[in-house]
Amino acid sequence: MMRKWMLLVITALAALPASAQRNFVIEAPRWTEAQTRAVAEAGGTLTFSHPETGIGIVQSFVPDFEQRVLRTRAFTSVTEDQVFEWQKPIQTVELEASAVNFQNESFINAQWNHLAVNAPGAWAAGYTGAGVRVAILDGGIHATHIDLRDRVELATSRSFVPGFNFNQDTGTFWHGTHVAGIVAASANGAGTVGLAPESTIIGVKVLHSGSGAFGWIISGILYASTPLAEGGAGAHILNMSLGATFPRGGGNTGAGRLISALNKAVNYANRNALVVSSAGNSALDLDHSGSVITVPAESGAGIAVSATGPMGYAVGWPNGATNFSRIASYTNYGTSVIHVAAPGGDAELPGNAPCSIPVVPAGSITVPCWVFDMVLSTSRGSGASITSYSWAAGTSMAAPAASAVAALIKQRFPNISIGELKNRLANSADDLGKPGVDPFYGRGFINAYRAVTE
């Protein structure tokens, strides 16, 4: 049975809003005052620039702006930006509001992903992600949610989507809010708890209603990974639970140079932060998909995370399935791309038979059994709600689990290099599938306890 809840998109192109204004991603060897002047003289407005990568994001109403700016000889390329749908609308399952109250508030029993990676063992060893900064590059984050309000750093959170703040989006799910809760929902006795519940979340809005321009994402990467002293967010880890698949070279989408600029941004970020991306939900063999490229999973020096999920976790609970490392039905895979695997959930259990799981301190949640095989986390809800939760599944849920374990490692080893952090995340993972590097598990299935104790 295949339920239509997948989170990532492939090759879904949307036209920019009809307007005389156009947006551009411009590159130079470095970005200096000379580039800023050249943009202005050609009739452009600079909205973001980054000195070291030489990338600038520019708006212009001038019809021949590209020709004008190239004649200045200050740039190596000028590419018109494009808006793509980076994550489709998804089928999620919301936790009934009536189940959420403060005499009956803890849903830890439904959070099988914690057991899957032995997060309680890491917490008992004293590692909760305290002091580690994780940027969530995604849609809006509901920063007043009871599980996130003490975790989101408002001063450095930022939106690169024109006209919207970082804490705005559409609908009642809010993909970025769900992702943020997987990383760092507070251990406050209310609702859910994140895998690194004392880490700091920086909300970096690069999508709105699932769509976003390359320029927004590139700007978010460069901002999030730039040190605080240099005007950036100073993130240690960047989580990108987003992606799209294109013909290699951009094909007829015209995205080739934009993909190249995205690579440059990820490679810059890798100097200061670990860049973690979801692998994608299209069941693609990335080792043998030479005609297409999935980004940012295959971008630069970042790492990609595949997904696992149980089948029947709640059936006969507490004696239900514990096959948490079961390969998810939808995950992209490939030894050349996958770094590690992590809990992302699945929804393949047949039928709609009901299952119940107790909440703490009393009561229970009853939904179709297959729902419990997905990942439960924070969501936006409606109105003034600050206690809304939803289930979802996908590599979008697996990536923040890996980011959270990386945050635990960073707390344990504050001066660890990015290369060493990548290696420890992989070397402490459980070697599943084929010995060594496996197309589905990469270098292994993440293990929070081993990551901070070995």
Cross-strand partners of 364? 358
| Confidence tier at 15 by pLDDT (50, 70, 90) | very low
**Mind listing the pLDDT tens digit for each residue in 189-201?**
889 999 999 999 9
Res 14: pLDDT: 36
φ and ψ at 364, to 5 degrees?
-160, 165
Burial (CB count <10 Å: 0-12, 13-18, 19+), residue 17? exposed
Residue 252: closest CA among 9, 11, 10, 8: 11
Q: Model-level pTM?
A: 0.94
- Is 175 among the residues known to form the active site? yes
pLDDT given at position 394: 94
Q: How far is CA 275 from CA 131, 261, 352, in A?
A: 18, 15, 38
pLDDT at 214 over 50: yes
What does the pLDDT read at residue 360?
Answer: 87
> What is the pLDDT, as a whole number, of residue 291?
87
Q: Tell me the two tokens of residue 14.
A: 């949307």
Mean pLDDT of all residues in the chain?
Answer: 91
The whole-number pLDDT of residue 189 equals 87
Q: Under a CB-based contact definition with an 8 Å cutoff, are residues 108 and 360 in contact?
A: yes
| pLDDT, position 106 | 80
Beta-bridge partner residues of 247: 292
pLDDT recorded at residue 101: 45
Instruction: Report residue 88's pLDDT band, with 50, 70 and 90 as the boundaries.
Output: low
Q: Is the pLDDT of residue 445 over 90?
A: yes
Angle at 418 between CA 413 and CA 424, to 5 degrees: 60
The residue type at 160: F
- Active site (annotated) includes residue 396: yes
**59-84 per-position pLDDT tens digit:** 999 999 999 999 999 999 999 999 98
Catalytic residue among 388, 396, 403, 428: 396
pLDDT at position 89: 38
Q: What percent of the chain has pLDDT over 90?
A: 86
Whose structure tokens read 């939904």? 367
Tell me: the pLDDT tens digits for 369-393?
999 999 999 999 999 999 999 999 9
Q: Which of 114, 175, 178, 208 is catalytic?
A: 175
β-strands 133-138, 237-240 pairing: parallel
Compute the Cα dihedral for 72, 75, 79, 85 and give only its sign: negative
Q: Are 76 and 28 in contact (CB under 8 A)?
A: yes
What tokens does 447 get? 């293990």
Task: Reduce the DSSP state of residue 305 to 3 states and report it.
Answer: strand
Amino acid at 337: V
Chain segment 100-122, per-residue pLDDT in tens: 443 334 899 999 999 999 999 99
Q: Is a pLDDT exceeding 60 seen at residue 314? A: yes
pLDDT tens-digit map of 231-242: 999 999 999 999
> Is there a contact between 237 and 288 (Cβ–Cβ < 8 Å)?
no
Question: What residues have CB less than 8 Å from 153, skipping those under 6 apart?
Answer: 133, 200, 201, 202
254 pLDDT more than 60 = yes
Annotation says 138 is catalytic: yes
Q: Of the residues 138, 147, 169, 438, which is catalytic?
A: 138
